[in-house]
Structure 1
Amino acid sequence: MSILRIELRRSAAAGAALLTLAVGVAALYLAPGRWSDGWMSLALSTKEYMLLLWPLALAAGAWQGRREHRAKVGELFDTTPRSPARRMLPVLVAMGATLGLAYLLVVVAGAVRIASTAAYFPPDVVAIVLVGALSLVAAAWLGLGIGRLLPALVTAPALAVAGVLLVFFTAIMRPDWMSATLSPAYGSNSFYPFQTIDSRVTGALAIWMGALAVTGVLLLVTRSPRARVAAVLPVLLGFGAAAAIVPRDEAALIAPIDPVARELVCTDDAPKVCVTRVNANVLDTLTPLAREGLAVLAKLPDAPTQVHEDARLFFSSGFSTEAAPPDRDIVTIDVRIDDRGGLAHPAAVVPAIVFGLGANTGTMVCPRNGPVERAAAYYLLDREPVSDVGVVPDMISEEPEFNAEAVTLWQGLRELPPAEALSRVAAVRDAIVACRDSTGVLSR
């Protein structure tokens, strides 16, 4: 233990760990909105920053690995009765333990922020975080071995660059079994609701990183050229074992879903409001807003009486292959989480419920008339139509003519008797449900 304490004080282990901790925490808190919605998002965000942390650990190990060459004491130490393995054990423990702990502390730094708001803790988070820590240990030990084998001044920065390229290109590859096996950042670049990583992928990465760690140890403690060539064997065996267990099916590699995370959690009383389990912490905040929106729709005949969070998986194009609930009694809305883990854009909840007039078309691509639907929705809201910019999240621009047409149609509705106006608004909703063009429905 005294040797280990000396190693911690005099080696690069403590400095590398502190730098890793600082970089990881800074990267997390530069974009807290990416992981504020729950534990899995936090685990995957930390995993995403392997682009920075893994090369850093690799370079730190390489810098430490050339210490004996830098001090010109290699031949002196070789004459001592202690074996190379025993002499290198303290530095292996120091580098591995400090960097692995630094990774865990990065996760803890994020956990402090979401502990009071994250409602669902997926068991897979533990394995993902532990394998992330193992990945940094493997990088440090591999760097130690390469640094001792190639003790040039340029080795550490060269490995840092190589590490960035390796993690980056394996992470952006089209999701397949190869990238799932090789990349310590795999599965962290999509960020969709109910995201997870298949446990077989996590297991394969653990095997691969373990193999890299063993190769690093062998390069560090062996002396003969033949033994150093044999040090490549664990990498080959590890890759073969990892490739044998990693899944090949697209469902496990491309946007895998945690079914428990998207189970609906609902209010006990009516009107029923439901959110997915991963967003259960915002149910109390959402409920009065959702019921206000239902009260507005209640002016129409056969109006929906429930609001559910949309639990479908949408791709980056905005398209989903999953059908919306066919029940006309249910309105589905998106639920967004803000940087503090609470409900984002609460002012947009009521408009989100009313704008679709309580209708859905599933996966059908139907003709839609935006000005007509806006005029009908704002008639129910009893206020003049305005641009969606500032009302609908992420809407950044809109042609002024669009809202001007909606205002004209809305004014026409206001001039009609209330019963006739509501009848025309109901006809717009019927047209949406039937996948018909609603043009002219309000002005007939």
Structure 2
Amino acid sequence: MSVLGIELRRSAAPGAALLALVVGVAALYLAPGRWSQGWMALVLTTKEYTLLLWPLALSAGAWQGRREHRAKVGELFDSTPRSGARRMLPVLVAMGAMVGLAYLLVVVAGGARIASTAAYFPPDVVLIVLVGALSLAAATWLGLGVGRLLPALVTAPALAVSGVLLVFFTAIMRPDWLGAVLSPVYGSSQFYPFQTIDARVSGALAIWMGGLAMTGVVLLVSRSPRTRLVAVLPALLGLGTATAIVPRDQAALIAPIDPVARALVCTDDAPRVCVTRVNANVLDTLTPLAREGLAVLSKLPGTPTQVHEDRRFYAAAGDLPLRDDDILTVTVRIDDHGGLAHPAAVLPEIVLSLGVDSTGECPRDGVVERAAAYYLLGREPVSDVGVIPGMVSEDPEVNAEAVALWRGLRKLPPAEATSRVAAVRAAIVACRDTAGLLSR
């Protein structure tokens, strides 16, 4: 233990851990909006930043691995009766434990920000974080072995650059299952809030990283060229085992779903408002806004009586929920602090839909619908820029035409104007053209 304590104080372990911690936390807090939605978003973002942390750990290990060469005591230590494994054990423990701990602390630093707003803690988070910490420890051990084998000054920076390229290009390697095995950042790209990483993918990565770590250990403790040749065997064994257990189906490889995170959490009273469990913390904020939108739409016959968070996602077109005329879906956005982003956009987004979800199957006239929606809202139409998040430009003529139609509605008796707006909605539901319905 005294030797381990000396290694913890005087080796590169504390410096490498501190550097990894600073880089990881700085990367997280430069873009808190990427992970403010919850715990899974946080660990996936941290896993993505392994692109920086893994090469850093690899190069730190290589720097430490050349210590005996740098101090010119390699031959002296090799002549002692103490085995290389016993001599190297303290530095292996110190470097691996400190860098792995740094990864855990990066997650903890992010978790301190979202602890009060994250409504759901997925069990998969624990496994993903532990495998991430293992991957950094493995990189450190591999670096130690390479650094002792090639104790040149250029080895550490060369490994840092090579590590970035290795992590990145293996992540986009095809077939996908091979990328899942080889890259510690695979699966970290976020497409929707209820995403996870399949446990089999995490397990395969852990086995591969364990093989790399053992290869580094053999390189570090070996004293003969023949033993060093055997060092490749743990990596090959780990790769073979990992490829045998990693799933091949795309549903498990490309952004798999956590069904619990995707489940709906709803208000007890009516009108019913529902969000996914991962966004349950914004239900209280969304509810009055959504109900206000439903109240505006209720001026028309047959409009929805419930608002649900839109749970559709890009990767599985066949997974779209069945259309229910009584349910209107809305996009729930989360701000940098874990609350509801753009609350002022909820009401106009609901009313602008006229209570009909867009499926992309039928053409829709944005000018006519805008004029009808703003008539229900009781105010003059305005451009979607600055109202609807994500809208950055719009042809000025679009709003000008909507204003002209809106003014025409305002000149009509209220019952007649409401009847025409209802006709627009009925045409949308029936997938008919709405042009001319407000100006006839």
TM-score normalized by the length of structure 2: 0.98
Match of 2:333 among 331, 336, 343: 336
Q: 1:401 aligned to 2:397?
A: yes
Match of 1:354 among 328, 351, 373: 351
- Tell me if the contact between 2:182 and 2:205 (Cα under 8 Å) persists in the aligned partners: yes
* 1:68 corresponding residue in structure 2: 68
- Tell me if the contact between 1:114 and 1:340 (Cα under 8 Å) persists in the aligned partners: yes
- Tell me if the contact between 2:201 and 2:247 (Cα under 8 Å) persists in the aligned partners: yes
Q: 1:390 aligned to 2:377?
A: no
Amino acid at match of 1:78: D
**Equivalent residues in 2 for 1:177-256, closer than 5 Å:** 177-256=177-256
Question: Offset of 1:321 from its aligned partner?
Answer: 4.6
- Tell me if the contact between 1:21 and 1:105 (Cα under 8 Å) persists in the aligned partners: yes
**Equivalent residues in 2 for 1:257-276, closer than 5 Å:** 257-276=257-276
Question: Offset of 1:190 from its aligned partner?
Answer: 3.4
Amino acid at match of 2:335: D
* 1:165 corresponding residue in structure 2: 165
Question: Offset of 1:428 from its aligned partner?
Answer: 1.0
Question: Offset of 1:367 from its aligned partner?
Answer: 1.1
* 1:117 corresponding residue in structure 2: 117
Question: Offset of 1:325 from its aligned partner?
Answer: 4.0
Return the alpha-carbon distance in structure 1 between the equivalents of residues 356 and 100 of structure 2. Answer: 51
* 2:364 corresponding residue in structure 1: 368
- Tell me if the contact between 1:59 and 1:140 (Cα under 8 Å) persists in the aligned partners: yes
Q: In structure 2, list runs of 5 or more residues that go unmatched.
A: none
Return the alpha-carbon distance in structure 2 between the equivalents of residues 409 and 193 of structure 1. Answer: 39
Question: Offset of 1:155 from its aligned partner?
Answer: 0.5
- Tell me if the contact between 1:324 and 1:361 (Cα under 8 Å) persists in the aligned partners: no
Provide the alpha-carbon RMSD of the alignment: 1.2
Question: Offset of 1:171 from its aligned partner?
Answer: 2.2
Amino acid at match of 2:372: A
Return the alpha-carbon distance in structure 2 between the equivalents of residues 226 and 175 of structure 1. Answer: 34
- Tell me if the contact between 1:13 and 1:98 (Cα under 8 Å) persists in the aligned partners: yes
Amino acid at match of 1:411: R
* 1:50 corresponding residue in structure 2: 50
Return the alpha-carbon distance in structure 2 between the equivalents of residues 252 and 387 of structure 1. Answer: 42
* 1:424 corresponding residue in structure 2: 420
- Helix, strand or coil for the counterpart of 1:308? strand
Question: Offset of 1:192 from its aligned partner?
Answer: 2.0
Amino acid at match of 2:429: V
Report which stretch shifted further, 57-66 or 352-361: 352-361
Return the alpha-carbon distance in structure 2 between the equivalents of residues 430 and 255 of structure 1. Answer: 37
Amino acid at match of 2:340: L
* 1:413 corresponding residue in structure 2: 409
* 2:437 corresponding residue in structure 1: 441
- Tell me if the contact between 1:39 and 1:118 (Cα under 8 Å) persists in the aligned partners: yes
Return the alpha-carbon distance in structure 1 between the equivalents of residues 325 and 191 of structure 2. Answer: 30
* 2:155 corresponding residue in structure 1: 155
Runs of 4+ in 1 over 4 A off after TM superposition: none
- Helix, strand or coil for the counterpart of 1:396? coil
* 1:77 corresponding residue in structure 2: 77
Q: 1:378 aligned to 2:360?
A: no
Amino acid at match of 1:348: A
Amino acid at match of 2:368: V
**1:78-118 CA deviation, whole Å, 9 max, x = no partner?**
12221100000110011001000000000000000000100
**1:200-236 CA deviation, whole Å, 9 max, x = no partner?**
1000000000000010001000111111111100111
Amino acid at match of 1:345: H
Report which stretch shifted further, 12-21 or 426-435: 426-435
Q: How many residues align?
A: 440
- Tell me if the contact between 2:275 and 2:309 (Cα under 8 Å) persists in the aligned partners: yes
Question: Offset of 1:180 from its aligned partner?
Answer: 0.4
**1:105-145 CA deviation, whole Å, 9 max, x = no partner?**
00000000000100011100000000000000000000000
- Helix, strand or coil for the counterpart of 2:157? helix
- Tell me if the contact between 1:361 and 1:432 (Cα under 8 Å) persists in the aligned partners: no
Return closer, same or farther for 1:173/1:442 CA change in 2, 3 Å cut-off. Answer: farther
Question: Offset of 1:261 from its aligned partner?
Answer: 0.8
Amino acid at match of 2:162: A
Question: Offset of 1:324 from its aligned partner?
Answer: 4.7
- Tell me if the contact between 2:191 and 2:255 (Cα under 8 Å) persists in the aligned partners: no
Question: Offset of 1:323 from its aligned partner?
Answer: 3.2
